Amino acid sequence: MLAAERYDRIVEMVNVKGSMRVSELSERCRVTEETIRRDLDRLEQAGRLRRSHGGAVSVKEDQPEIPYRIRETTHAEEKKRIAQAALAMINPGDRILLDASTTAGYMAANMPDFPLTVLTNSIQIATELSNRDKVEVISTGGQLASRSLSFVGPLAERSLETYHVDKMFMSCKGVHLEGGGISESNELQARLKQKMVGISDQVILLADASKFGVRAFARVSGLNAVHTIVTNQPLEAEQTERLSGYDIGIITV
């Protein structure tokens, strides 16, 4: 394989997985780790990826969020089924937290009007629930992230410290079972979701099949923080085996 071909392959693999270690790239490209390190230096200088400790991360992951209206129509049917299953996990009187994901948005759109406290950083969800007389809605406030129609930043993070919820329903950019855990496309969203996890008794992860195997730019938490995963198709045998060590309930819809 010519050096130029190897460079293209390295960039392609890193973009697909979000990040890769030197040892993994060495094995895939069948060259020494020293060669890979030199390759990564050249590719970083060219702006095609970014070096990290022990490997490289995709520069594509460090881009602005995909606008909410576009995400809303991506894998829409799968997200709607996941949202419907998640709604069945809510009981009258619960205190719940909904993140600014489109899947949580579908939950809000079909939320029954019974006594419930909903904490959210999503403008879309707060607006959707405003016509439910029995649902108390609390917004975090904070810095407006216009692409996700959500509040992020220090003010939003501090406001979460005031509360405690029974159940958190969240989605993410990626779910990586080989040590990466749950990740987001940018640091502000990841930091806020870390705070959300910290104030929740139960964490329910809403993840369609496209999220698995993806390691995005900013880590939210390990899988040990998750109590239940709701997804749209059976996981592969290897994925199920890896998850078995975390005592996570899996609901497939």
Other Cβ atoms closer than 10 A to 46: 10
The 3-state DSSP class for residue 247 equals: coil
Distance CA 88, CA 86 (A): 5
CB within 8 Å of 158: residues ≥ 6 apart: none
pLDDT of residue 73: 58
pLDDT of residue 72: 57
Other Cβ atoms closer than 10 A to 112: 11
pLDDT of residue 246: 86
The answer to whether 44 and 83 have CB atoms below 8 angstroms apart is: no
pLDDT of residue 88: 97
pLDDT of residue 58: 78
E strand or H helix at 242, and its extent? helix 237-244
pLDDT of residue 192: 96
pLDDT of residue 15: 79
User: What's CA 152's distance to the chain center, in Å?
Assistant: 15
pLDDT in tens, the chain (253 residues): 788 889 988 988 887 777 788 999 999 999 999 999 999 999 988 778 888 767 888 776 455 555 565 665 567 889 999 999 999 999 999 999 999 999 999 999 999 999 999 999 999 999 999 999 999 999 999 999 888 899 999 999 999 999 999 999 999 988 988 767 999 888 889 999 999 999 999 999 999 888 887 888 788 999 999 999 999 988 878 778 778 888 899 999 9
pLDDT of residue 221: 94
